[in-house]
């Protein structure tokens, strides 16, 4: 049993119960933002954003630096609460959502910069914590952990101290952690920063195959090439949504130029 299969099965089970079968209506939205406005100060970072991500979608959010991508993600996950409007996750208000085993999260900065002694396997193990609560990991849980390590090619590094690894290796460990969680929704905030080029390609293939298994993928990315190649749908953001639609249409549109401003203009001008 592979990690992906497992997760796919979980999705299938979940969809089978609770919601009416086959109904892909409004109620099925995994993430739903309605008229969301948010600012850390008086000036809004996010303004009037309306967005819904349905189960099984592969959505990429792009935009220049400082465009509010990460803030948008935090609003979606309930780490921040909107000043106006409403954010919902799996049909519940995001800030009140606590069924953590349904959400996998890979952050932009590998947070292991501090000198904490902890092995790669111990990090990946955390992905199982929402499933085990106060209990111990069963042998099945450990099997999922080792499977996730194998999937990202880090089995040989399982007992390494994570702070002693390169940025790319570390990022793989965090990806493995989100895989071990067997979530229905994967949220990735620039997950391939610092990962070597070949691995990036393989990593996007992995995301695609997870998506094929029914896992909803939300990718926040500055690498427009990767987005165009892999995502089904693109949301182009700079405080407001400039474009939201299929990737093909995005490539032909002028949304990027407008969002990035005339000066930046072309693809990849966000650095």
- Give me the residues that bind another protein (CB under 8 A), please: 2-5, 77, 79, 97-101, 103, 105, 107, 111-112, 114-119, 122-123, 126, 129-130, 132-134, 147, 150-157, 159-161, 164, 169, 172, 177, 181, 187, 198-199, 202-203, 205-206, 208-210, 212-213
Q: Phi then psi for 217, rounded to 5 degrees?
A: -120, 125
- Which residue, 164 or 258, is less far from another protein as judged by CB? 164
Q: How far is the CB of 147 from another protein (least distance, A)?
A: 8
Q: How far is the CB of 123 from another protein (least distance, A)?
A: 7
Q: How far is the CB of 25 from another protein (least distance, A)?
A: 26
Q: How far is the CB of 242 from another protein (least distance, A)?
A: 27
Q: Phi then psi for 200, rounded to 5 degrees?
A: -60, -45
Q: How far is the CB of 116 from another protein (least distance, A)?
A: 4
Q: Which two tokens stand for residue 202?
A: 């393989």
- Which residue, 59 or 152, is less far from another protein as judged by CB? 152
Closest CA to 77 of 58, 96, 60, 61: 96
CB 184 within 8 A of CB 10: yes
Q: Which two tokens stand for residue 128?
A: 């199982």
Query: DSSP characters for 92-128?
Result: EEGGG---GGGEEEE-SS-STTS----BHHHHHHGGG
Q: Phi then psi for 143, rounded to 5 degrees?
A: -65, -40
- Which residue, 203 or 242, is less far from another protein as judged by CB? 203
């Amino acid at each position: 049993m592979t990690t992906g299969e497992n997760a796919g099965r979980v999705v299938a089970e979940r969809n089978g119960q609770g919601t009416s079968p086959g109904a892909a209506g409004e109620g099925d939205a995994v993430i739903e933002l309605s008229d969301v406005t948010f600012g850390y100060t008086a000036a809004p970072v996010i303004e009037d954003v309306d967005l819904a991500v349905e189960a099984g979608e592969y959505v990429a959010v792009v935009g220049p630096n400082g465009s509010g991508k990460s803030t948008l993600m935090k609003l979606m996950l309930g780490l921040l609460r909107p000043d106006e409007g409403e954010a919902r996750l799996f049909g519940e208000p995001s800030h009140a959502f606590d069924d953590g085993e349904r959400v996998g999260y890979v952050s932009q900065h590998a947070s292991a910069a501090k000198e904490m002694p902890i092995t790669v396997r111990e990090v990946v193990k955390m992905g199982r914590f929402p499933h085990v609560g106060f209990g111990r990991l069963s042998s099945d849980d450990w099997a999922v952990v080792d499977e996730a390590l194998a999937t990202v090619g880090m089995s040989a590094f399982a007992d390494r101290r994570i702070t002693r690894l390169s940025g790319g290796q570390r990022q793989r460990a965090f990806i493995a952690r989100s895989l071990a969680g067997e979530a229905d929704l994967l949220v990735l905030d620039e997950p391939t920063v610092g990962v070597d080029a070949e691995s990036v390609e393989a990593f996007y293939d992995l995301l695609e195959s997870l998506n094929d298994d029914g896992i909803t993928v939300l990718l926040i990315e500055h690498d427009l090439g990767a987005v165009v190649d892999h995502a089904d749908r693109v949301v182009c953001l700079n405080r407001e949504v400039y474009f939201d639609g299929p990737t093909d249409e995005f490539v032909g549109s002028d949304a990027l130029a407008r969002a990035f401003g005339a000066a930046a203009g072309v693809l990849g001008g966000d650095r």
